Amino acid sequence: MVHGYKGVQFQNWAKTYGCCPEMYYQPTSVEEVREVLTLARQQNKRVKVVGGGHSPSDIACTDGFMIHMGKMNRVLQVDKEKKQVTVEAGILLTDLHPQLDKHGLAMSNLGAVSDVTIAGVIGSGTHNTGIKHGILATQVVALTLMTADGAVLECSESSNADVFQAARVHLGCLGVILTVTLQCVSQFQLQETSFPSTLKEVLDNLDSHLKKSEYFRFHWFPHSENVNIIYQDHTNKAPSSASNWFWDYAIGFYLLEFLLWISTYLPCLVGWINRFFFWLLFSHKKESSNLSHKIFTYECRFKQHVQDWAIPREKTKEALLELKAMLEAHPNVVAHFPVEVRFTRGDEILMSPCFQRDSCYVNIIIYRPYGKDVPRLDYWLAYETIMKKFGGRPHWAKAHNCTRKDFEKMYPAFKKFCNIREKLDPTGMFLNSYLEKVFY
C-alpha cells in the first residue's frame, strides 16, 4: 500500500514558484503509481508528477496529489550492441552518467543541468545546442506511459506511434511516464574552447561558426557589443580544466552577486557590470577538455528568472539586433548578462519548440541577488513581443505569458496533441493552472 504525506511544501529550484499539494507520494513501483491514480479517480483529485523541480515555472505545481518519482530511479536494461539503455523515469541524469560511463556509453547531447529526471527533461522539451542535434527528447526510442485509467501503454515508432510522437514532449499532461529507452552513443571526450568576439562578427558569420563546431553557442553581453563564443567538439586530449576557485567563485559568483545587489538600487550600473565582467572573465581564450557530460553540464549558481524561446534559425540575426535596438532605445530597461544563444535541429515531436524547423534558442536571464527580485517586466514583455514577431515558441519549462490562442498559431500539430491528450485523460486528471492556460 502506497503511503502519502500531508503538509509537504513543494518549491522549484529557483524559488520562483511553490505549492502545497493535498497529498505527496513517493511510489517505489508501477503498482504503487497505479494505486495513487486509483485514489485520485475515486476522490476526483488532480495529479502532478514532479522530477528534479528545476523548471523555472509552475508547470509542476498542484493543490491535488503530487507524485515524486525519485524512488523509481533504476537502470533497467543496457543493450551494448544497439547502444540503448532503458531507465525508470525518476532517474536523475547525475546518477545516469556514471552508470553509462561503466558501459562505455554516453548521451549524444545534454542540457546545462543534470540534477533533473529523465522524464522531466523530455517532458519540458529540454535542449542544448548543436545544429546537427535535436532537443534531448529526440534521443528517446521508446517509453512506457500509465494513463489516467491505470493502463500502461508501450510507445515507440512502431507501437502507439501517435502517442509516442506526443509523449516525447508530454508536458506532464498525458499520464505518468514509467520508463524511457534512450539511444546512446559510445563514450566520448569534448574539448571546450571559448574566445571573445563581437555581436556583429558572430551574426555576420553565423553559418561558418555553425559549420566549424559541433556544439556551437555564444553569449552576448547586453548593453555592449561583447560576445563570448563557445565551441565544444570531440577530442582525444587528456582532461584539462580552465576553472579556478578565485575567478569562478570569489569573482564570478560572490563579487558578481554583491554588485548585482547594489545595482538593484542603482540600475544604471548594470551596463557597466556586464562590460566589466566581460573584460575580467571572458576577454581571453580558454580551453578545457573532459568526458562529454562533464563539459556539457555546469553548476547553475544563481537563483534567477529565465525566458527561453525558439525562433526559426534564419531569424537569429534580425531578432537579436531588434533586442539590442530595444535596449538602446529604452535605457531604463536593464538586462543581465548573458543572453545565451543556442541552435537545435528540427524534429517531428508534436509539442517540440523545434517542430519541423531548425531553431535558434534565445535565453534571457534576470538574476535574483540574495533572493531579491529585480524589476523585469518591461524587459520580459519587450523580449516576448520580439520573439512572437519572429515566429517564436517558448520553452515549456520556463515562464511565459502565452495562452491557447498563441499555441494554436505556433504549433501546426497543436490540435492533434489536444485530441491525444483528451483521449488519454478525458477528465483532465493531469492538468493544473499552468496547463489550463495552454489548453483552454
Q: Please report which helix (H) or strand (E) contains residue 423, including its range.
A: helix 414-424
Residues in the chain where the model's pLDDT stays below 50: none
Q: Tell me, what's the pLDDT at 51?
A: 86
- Spatial separation of the C-alpha atoms in residues 34 and 134, rounded to whole Å: 33
Q: Tell me, what's the pLDDT at 95?
A: 97
Q: Is residue 151 part of a domain?
A: yes
Q: Tell me, what's the pLDDT at 11?
A: 84
CATH code where residue 256 lies? 3.40.462.10
Q: Is residue 414 part of a domain?
A: no
Whether residue 239 sits in one domain with residue 368: yes
Q: Tell me, what's the pLDDT at 53?
A: 82
Q: Tell me, what's the pLDDT at 23?
A: 96
- The backbone region for 7, taken as left when phi is positive above 0, alpha when psi lies in -120 to 50, beta otherwise, is left
- By the 8 A CB rule, do 355 and 347 touch? yes
Q: Tell me, what's the pLDDT at 329?
A: 97
CATH code where residue 103 lies? 3.30.465.10
Query: Domain range holding 169?
Result: 75-186
Q: Is residue 365 part of a domain?
A: yes
139 secondary structure, DSSP code? G
Q: Which of 186, 206, 228 is the last residue of a domain?
A: 186
* Number of domains observed in the structure of the chain: 3
CA distances from 49 to 58, 112, 173, 397 (A): 12, 22, 9, 14
| Residue labelled with grid coordinates 493531469 | 430
- The backbone region for 432, taken as left when phi is positive above 0, alpha when psi lies in -120 to 50, beta otherwise, is beta
Q: Tell me, what's the pLDDT at 383?
A: 98
pTM assigned to the model = 0.96
Whether residue 160 sits in one domain with residue 90: yes
Question: What is the rounded end-to-end Cα distance, in angstroms, of the chain?
Answer: 36
